[in-house]
A = this chain, B = another copy of it.
Amino acid sequence: MEDSVTEGPPAEPRFVLGVDSGGSGLRVALARVTSSGPPEPCGSVASGEPVPTGSAGIDAGRLIARLLPAARELLAKADGTRVAAACVGAAGMVTLGGRLRAELPGALADGLGARRTALAADVVTGYVGALGEHPGAVVAAGTGLIALGLDGRGWRRADGWGHLLGDCGGGSWIGRVGLEAALRAHDGRAGGSAALLAAAEALFGPAPGLPGLVYPRSDRPAWLASFAPEVARCAATEPADPVAAAILREAAREIAITTAAVCPPGPSAQVALTGGLPRLGEPLLRPLREELAARLPGATIVPAAGDPLEGALSLAAQVARGSLGLPTEPGLLSVHDASEGGGPAGAR
């Protein structure tokens, strides 16, 4: 990519770095910023390998070791030498981000010249990517489920507690309840679904083998979620399986309850549903529209404008311009000034 300085005064374009680190891998993007308007992306790299997370939190050293070479490669291709600011959005930032907050701003200052680094929970970059600074709610629904709302007073979160404590209505939840209904049918218990039992045995083999399949795994939530599309399929066939349809209606109710807990009331709010769960289609989306209309009258359901990586670039651009339009909150969104250089910079 050739050097193309399209703006006036600055001799070198101002670059910003956006990072999205989550369970599905690490993505790094570079963009040019101007004095106004959205950042102009000039390249990104993605790796499907997630950054390891131990009991002490996200492995900051491993993230830095993968992030800096990727960023330097992107800078070199864009004929740049440094970034003005960076934003790292990461899953687990709220509870497990301590080491990132301690090490990352200094490393990005030393390694890439970033004077300011924003650290954001992945739900925040997801929100900014989907709705920008517009008040409303973004529901990130895949294997798990979490909702983030924004209003004049700040951020508000609901659920995201994981497959044993919540994530109600998410992929693991739907798969778990669907398999439970399958095994009810196997046992002759009330509330079972022969269709879900047939689907489970077609996918996983005979029912008595299911415990031996799931409990030894370390990715039990993902395994449970792998059955969610079967629940949707059983609810979508003609005639629909009533148990499968009821499970998806209940999931829709849970998602709407979680959304309503964080979304500001009134007609100006926007609601965006992100992640893989909407791919379950109309058996989930039809009752979800009904439940959202009942619980959030006036709110508009909109498609997400962009993804979390675009949200990270947008936040980095705001930080570079010194005009962050969104509320900071410990764990969710913090900005670290590295003007002192070197080690861990203080949060503001």
Contact = CB atoms under 8 A, between A and B. Distances in A.
Contact of A161 (B55, B166, B183): B183
Interface residues of A, number: 38
Output the residue of A166, A257, A260 with the most chain B CB within 10 A. Answer: A166
A96 B162 CA distance: 29
Given A165-B210, A183-B166, A261 B216 contact: no
Q: Is the interface of A mostly helix, strand, loop or mixed?
A: helix
Interface stretch (A27-35, A40-48, A186-194): A186-194
A33 to B, nearest CB: 34
Interface string A78-103: 00000000000000001110000000
Contacts of A233: none
A71 interface: no
The complex is assembled from copies of this chain, and their number is: 2
B187 A165 contact: no
Nearest to A146: B187
A9 interface: no
A191 to B, nearest CB: 7
Contacts of A316: none
Contact of A162 (B191, B211, B260): B211
A201 interface: no
B212 A95 contact: yes
Nearest to A57: B212
A189 B95 contact: no
A269 to B, nearest CB: 16
B95 A161 contact: no
Contact of A180 (B168, B210, B262): B168
Contact of A159 (B95, B164, B189): B189
Contact of A260 (B161, B190, B210): B190
Contacts of A190: 257, 260-261
B257 A161 contact: no
A157 interface: yes
B189 A55 contact: no
The 9 closest A-B pairs by CB, nearest first: A158-B187, A189-B261, A188-B261, A190-B257, A162-B211, A189-B257, A161-B183, A187-B261, A166-B183
